Every structure is written in C-alpha cells, then in structure tokens.
Amino acid sequence: MEALGSRGREDALEMFLASCRTVAESRNNPEFLRLGHEAVKAVSSKN
C-alpha cells in the first residue's frame, strides 16, 4: 500500500485492477473483476 502512495492515481487504479484480474482468474470468478471495474468507476466519478 505504501508503494501505491508514491504512484499517480491512474497507476494505482491500474495496479488495483491487475490485482483484481489475478484474483478473478485464480478463483475462476469473473464477477470479482467486474466488481473491481465498478469500484474504479465509482472512485473515478468522484472527481
């Protein structure tokens, strides 16, 4: 998490989505990735 603080917002969101993608693929749960995208969309719309 500390590393995310030193990166730009877009980089942090991409890293988050990459993590969601890894979890979704390893758990065979595409819904997890969809929810990750929804979370990014919600955070991005607050600006």
Residue 46 contacts by C-beta under 8 Å, 6 or more apart in sequence?
none
pLDDT(13) > 60: yes
pLDDT for position 26: 98
pTM of the model: 0.80
| Domain assignments of the chain as residue spans, ordered by start | 2-44
Helices 30-44, 9-26: axis angle to 10 degrees equals 160
5 compared with 12, residue with greater pLDDT? 12
In sequence order, what are the residues at sequence separation of 6 or more whose Cβ sits closer than 8 angstroms to the Cβ of residue 13?
40, 43, 44
pLDDT category, 3, cuts 50, 70, 90?
low
